[in-house]
Amino acid sequence: MQSAVIVDVVRTPRGRGKPGGALSGIHPQELLAGVLGELEKRTGLDPADVEDVLTGCANAVGDHGDCIARLSVLAAGWPQHVPGLTMNRFCGSGQQAVNTAAMMIAAGQAETVVASGVEMMSRYPAGGALTLDGGNAKLRSRHPLVPQGISADLIASLDGVGRSDVDAYALESQRRAAAAIADGRFAGSMAPVLAEDGSVVLDREELPRATSAERLAGLQPSFARMGSAVLEGYDRSFDEMCRQAYPELAVVDHVHHAGNSSGLADGAAAVLLTSEETARERGWRPRARVLSTASVGAEPVIMLTAPAPATSRCLARAGMTMADIDLFEVNEAFASVVLRFMRETGVDASKVNVNGGAIALGHPIGASGPILLATLLDELERRDLSTGVVTMCTGGGMATATVIERI
């Protein structure tokens, strides 16, 4: 098997994922098309050589629908023979696109693939239904799925993690993100989003804002009311469903709020992957090699606990251990997710999300995987380190993981 290498990664800044956010007036196809064009420009890629464009998108309906991968290829003006495939593994969709591209190359089924992700939460259809189990009552009786925020509170409750713990983690994420932005650490892979007339729509991360321990402490829990309500179509509350799955739990302690949960965001990113031989033939100097990939499932009610086992599986495939990894990017869906990861793996906090994460910077669902890869690769280069891991929890109780090594 041949190695898959990463030639380059390009991403947008993350815009505020609500109507009125800086990127909200742009069609998601055009946002991704702009990133594809920037990747072409930076690498000297001939789009005619691209054998597939894989795109992660977690909510492929409305203007994200109709195979946004293929439509974005056309919007970018790339040749009509270049196909596109839209992938959905919830929050891990974009990372799954990268992993699948690497597997295609390693298996000798492709030489040049673009893996990408896009999500514009500001453009989600208004009043969308809460979909967790597709309305399947039989499945619900076996696996009483609950919203992710309640799953995060469930993790905290079972782990004895209190409000002060998740707030302290969130404050540190904001501090690290602010330092990274001030130091220009995201500049290498980030491309400004331009309007048709060439003017700049967004050239910086839009979500970070100054906060304090006192301000975080004053925020009301986001999921307490949802947890106690009995919604239409359900015969019990989500908190009761948690206790059904975990009868040892007397009460779900709702500790997450807007300040210690990932922010709604818009964004897109694209990664050029090739075989090492192809990179040599085309004069590219790859930035990293993909050593291994993995995805795993976990108990679906608690839902968000799979990053540690996914990382362990990924490292085992690479013949490595946690101690062999210099830096970890663990998606900050909620503070308790990362705290659980560090507790289970024993990885020191000084190696995890060193430039902050989605709590401070936002989580444009399908785009987050490639964005985290860009963040990791830029920081490995800045620190002259060698190895890194990206891992993400996803809906339905799954996680994705990727191990990379700088070249």
Query: Which residue is catalytic, options 57, 64, 91, 143?
Result: 91
Q: Which two tokens stand for residue 377?
A: 């690769």
Neighbours of 163 (CB within 10 A): 18
Helix axes 148-159, 335-345, angle to 10 degrees: 40
- How many angstroms separate the CA atoms of 161 and 155, rounded? 8
Q: Which of 239, 221, 243, 217 is nearest to 230 (CA)?
A: 239
DSSP character string of 242-309: HHHH-TT-S-------TTSBPPBEEEEEEEEEEEHHHHHHTT---SEEEEEEEEEE--TTT-S--HHH
363 classed as catalytic: yes
Residue 393 among the catalytic residues: yes
Helix H or strand E segment including 132: none
Catalytic residue among 57, 242, 314, 393: 393
Instruction: Identify whether the C-beta of residue 362 lies closer than 8 Å to the C-beta of residue 263.
Output: yes
**Which tokens sit at 375?**
């963040």
CB 101 within 8 A of CB 406: no
The Cα–Cα gap between 52 and 114 comes to 6
Strand partners, 271: 9, 115
- Active-site annotation holds for 64: no
Contact 284, 7 (CB under 8 A): yes
**SS3 label, residue 144:** coil
> Cα 340–375–182 angle (5° rounding)?
105
Q: How far apart are CA 351 and CA 366, in angstroms?
A: 24
Q: What is the Cα–Cα distance from 334 to 222, expressed in whole angstroms?
A: 12
Q: Which residues are catalytic?
A: 91, 363, 393
